Amino acid sequence: MSEGSKGSSLAFGQVVIGPPGSGKTTYCHGMQEFLGRIGRKVTVVNLDPANDSLPYQCSLDIAELITLPDVMENLKLGPNGGLIYCMEYLEANFDWLQEKLATSWGHYYLFDCPGQVELYTHHDALKNVFAQLAKWNFRLAAVHLVDSHYCTDPGKFISVLCTSLSTMLHVELPHVNVLSKMDLIEQYGKLAFNLDYYTEVLDLSYLVDHLASDTFFRNYRRLNEKLVEVIQDYSLVSFVPLNVQDKESMRLVVQAVDKANGYSFGDQEHRSLEALMSAAVGADFHFTSTLAVQEKYLQSQDKALEEEALDL
């Protein structure tokens, strides 16, 4: 596979990014299995030199080129500096990456990326890797995973929105923001608003008002107002809720990603998807409906509106 040699032939895929612990590797594992069931040939590429425990079938591993422990030991760097060095080393060895990817050309690619946030907001190495993939006729969408428990803390949620916006502007790829681990969200506390408020990023002034009820954040109201103004002025950030064990949730994410990167599937895959969605729950999956969480908060909102109307 050389630059331009494929002509009109394209390869599609996802670059899976996000902070540590957001579920990137679990997502790649679940997505590989889900897409395999509907007939796509999936190649998972591990670009995280710190990830030495891979639950999925990995076709290409950056550990064959460089590992974080080796860099830290030999160059006496910390984990953050080591990761940056690894990404710069990958950028300097495009020929290795090109040769490895050529062996599975035509597959659907999942790139499992490192969890260092600076790599997506400030540093250019990974951004340059994605740009080079585009020159090789890859059509990629960035899937940015964010742990859904941040929704339970208004201050952290504003921080997540700023990080997501910064990542979208820096990475320069079609972007799908995903709230991961939706099945665990209520373990961290009750949401202040219904789920749609967080996924659609609606009027954030209510979030600022909610923060102002906290004596600590009250002193930073003006700062928070300016931050949410920036987010709303760009009007780019929204989220798709995800529970990897919920096939309907996975279908919605795939639909959003396919729309973002331009992938169009044939009739055979469409039939396979319909069969999978209509199939009885198998032993391999425990499909707990993500929509149950959303419905709960929508019902709570409807009840509150009814009570408000009665008071009037």
Q: What is the pTM of this model?
A: 0.84
CB neighbourhood size of 194 (10 A): 20
Q: Which residues contact 214 (CB under 8 A, 6 or more apart)?
A: none
pLDDT at position 298, please? 52
In the structure encoding, which two tokens stand for residue 38, read together? 């509907």
Name beta bridge partners: 43: 109
Please tell me which residue, 100 or 292, carries the higher pLDDT value: 100
pLDDT at position 216, please? 78
User: Do 238 and 168 form a contact (C-beta atoms < 8 A)?
Assistant: no
**Where are the domains positioned within the chain?**
11-201+237-268
Name beta bridge partners: 175: 142
Percent of the chain with pLDDT over 90: 59
Burial class (CB in 10 A: 0-12, 13-18, 19+), 196: middle
pLDDT at position 8, please? 47
CATH architecture of 11-201+237-268: 3-Layer(aba) Sandwich (3.40)
Please tell me which residue, 110 or 192, carries the higher pLDDT value: 110
The answer on pLDDT for 82 being more than 50 is: yes
DSSP string for residues in 255-300 = HHHHHHHT----HHHHHHHHHHHHSPP-TT-----THHHHHHHHHH
**Residue 52's pLDDT band (cuts 50, 70, 90):** confident
Residue with tokens 């639950």: 55
The answer on pLDDT for 285 being more than 50 is: no
The answer on pLDDT for 302 being more than 70 is: no
User: Do 258 and 176 form a contact (C-beta atoms < 8 A)?
Assistant: no
